[in-house]
Amino acid sequence: MESRWTTAIVLVLSAFVIVFFMGQVFFSGGDALRTETAYVYDMTEDIPFEGVYLRDESVVHSAGTGVLSYEHEDSSKVGQSSVIAYRYRNESDIEVRRQIEALDEQIAVLVEAEKLVGTDNSQLETITSQINLVHSSLVDCIISGDYDAADDYENQMLESLCKREIAKGESEGYSEKISQLRAERKSLESQLTGDVQSIYAGGTGYFVSSVDGYEDKLTFDDSETITAMKIKNIIENPDISASGTAVGKLIADYRWRVAAVLDSDELFGMYEGSKVTLRVGSENAELEATIVSINDTGEGDGTAVYVFECDRLTPVVVGGRVENFKLVVSSYGGLRVSREAIRYNETEERGVYIVRGSSLAFKKINVIYWGEDYVICSQEDDDEYLKLYDEIVTEGKDLYDGRIIE
């Protein structure tokens, strides 16, 4: 037993000795350095708030029973005679109709390609160029996630490939395939259980498939009279209701407004007519807006009802009545540097030490933003200043310009 304890004690003492000497080597002479890379960093200071949309809207009504299939994405502009939706008896009819539309597209592609039957191959070079162009566009759409546009390019690609087959003499036409597709279409049509009802816009504007009952209660004109109490009530207890015949709504204009209760001290220096930057919901895109009115709430707490106006309509903007916003106060962009890396040279110039080859060099920095544990520095053309991808010393002893390191 004593032998085991002796062995354990020897091992522990040995470990302490090893750690002690490693520490002496590591910290002696200031040779141990910790570094970070200077990279570009963007930071935004903003004021978050909840707001209520004010828009000039009209509800589209259509009585009937069944299942609706909408023809337009929210915020799409439509004309008075535009079909905004079809009403089917059930979901299976919608799926059958989609299959029929897909067959119609394929048939149209093959019919167009067949027009080249009997011609020479003089168009082959042009067709090949079209294939390359469409292929690039198709890949871009897939990468960006724009799958609706990708579907369109897919049909264009099919048409171009079919035309190339005919131009090269590899195909004599697609009559048999067209007949087969038309037979499939006829079979699908027989599966439809009833007539399809077309629903028209009945006016011009930007279509939205949802309604909330506030369409005639929160308009542009209400921006001058809306109160803080009303805004708070809508945010906290929205009275969402809509007619059973409502199938959507039309927004009259691409301009929209949002009303919110904000602390006037936080928006000090902003006035009616000021241009501001807003971020809507979870979107990173920044929208330019104008403060159109500021009315004191009268509650004696320094708050006021601010109304902002923007002329950019997006699906996120039309998606609801209440939204989370961020009012961008200021944005900073530059090189990010940890505060622990900041040093001062013999002339009291602020900067950092960087590793350059086998030695250290002092580089000045121009701080444009002070964060809690980092700063953002402007990128200067002067070689005396910190540059992108420089290796910055954040920790180390005996730092000076020109010091040789191993």
* Span 292-321, pLDDT tens digits: 999 999 888 999 999 999 999 888 888 789
pLDDT of residue 24 exceeding 70: no
Helix pair angle (147-167, 124-144), 10° resolution: 160
- The pLDDT assigned to 199 comes to 92
Max CA separation in the chain (angstroms): 103
Domain boundaries, the chain: 1-28, 29-43+333-395, 48-61+213-243+253-331, 90-193
Q: What is the C-alpha separation between 166 and 172, in angstroms, rounded?
A: 6
**The tokens of 338 are what?**
């940890």
Domain 29-43+333-395, architecture per CATH: Beta Barrel (2.40)
Residue 215, SS3?
coil
**The tokens of 198 are what?**
């077309």
Q: Strands 343-344 and 83-88: what pairing? A: unpaired
Q: What is the C-alpha separation between 326 and 307, in angstroms, rounded?
A: 14
Hey, which residues does 305 pair with through a beta bridge?
Answer: 261, 295
Q: What digits encode the pLDDT tens for the residues 185-235?
A: 899 888 888 788 889 998 999 999 989 889 888 998 898 899 999 999 999
Residue 179, SS3?
helix
Q: What is the C-alpha separation between 45 and 380, in angstroms, rounded?
A: 23
- The pLDDT assigned to 121 comes to 65
- Tell me which range, 18-27, 38-47, 162-171, is most confidently predicted by mean pLDDT: 38-47
Q: What is the C-alpha separation between 75 and 320, in angstroms, rounded?
A: 12
Spatial neighbors of 3 by CB under 8 A, at least 6 apart, are none
Mean pLDDT over residues 45-73, rounded? 90
- The pLDDT assigned to 102 comes to 87
Q: What is the C-alpha separation between 255 and 161, in angstroms, rounded?
A: 44
Mean pLDDT over residues 40-58, rounded? 90
Q: What is the C-alpha separation between 294 and 272, in angstroms, rounded?
A: 6
> In sequence order, which ranges of 28-119 are alpha helices (DSSP H)?
91-113
- The pLDDT assigned to 118 comes to 64
Fold of 48-61+213-243+253-331: Elongation Factor Tu (Ef-tu); domain 3 (2.40.30)
- The pLDDT assigned to 84 comes to 92
Q: What digits encode the pLDDT tens for the residues 224-277?
A: 899 999 999 999 887 777 778 899 999 999 999 999 999 998 888 889 999 999
> In sequence order, which ranges of 145-197 are alpha helices (DSSP H)?
147-167, 175-189
Helix (H), strand (E) at residue 101: helix 91-113
Determine the straight-line distance between the first and last CA of the chain, rounded to whole angstroms: 48
Q: What is the C-alpha separation between 8 and 166, in angstroms, rounded?
A: 86
* Residue pair 201/250 in contact by the 8 Å Cβ criterion: yes
**Banded pLDDT at 394 (limits 50, 70, 90):** very high
**The tokens of 137 are what?**
């566009």
Lowest mean pLDDT among 115-124, 257-266, 345-354: 115-124
% of the chain with per-residue pLDDT over 70? 91
Spatial neighbors of 198 by CB under 8 A, at least 6 apart, are 83, 86
- The pLDDT assigned to 338 comes to 94
pLDDT of residue 2 exceeding 80: no
Q: What is the C-alpha separation between 399 and 32, in angstroms, rounded?
A: 11
- The pLDDT assigned to 189 comes to 84
Q: What digits encode the pLDDT tens for the residues 320-329?
A: 899 999 999 8
- The pLDDT assigned to 40 comes to 93
Q: What is the C-alpha separation between 28 and 110, in angstroms, rounded?
A: 80
- The pLDDT assigned to 28 comes to 44
Specify the higher pLDDT residue, 125 or 249.
249
Hey, which residues does 260 pair with through a beta bridge?
Answer: 306
Q: What is the C-alpha separation between 130 and 347, in angstroms, rounded?
A: 65
% of the chain with per-residue pLDDT over 90? 40
Is 48-61+213-243+253-331 the same fold as 29-43+333-395? Answer: no
> Average pLDDT over the chain, rounded to whole?
84
**Banded pLDDT at 27 (limits 50, 70, 90):** very low
Q: What is the pTM of this model?
A: 0.63
Backbone angles phi, psi at 295, to 5 degrees: -125, 125
Residues in the chain, total? 406
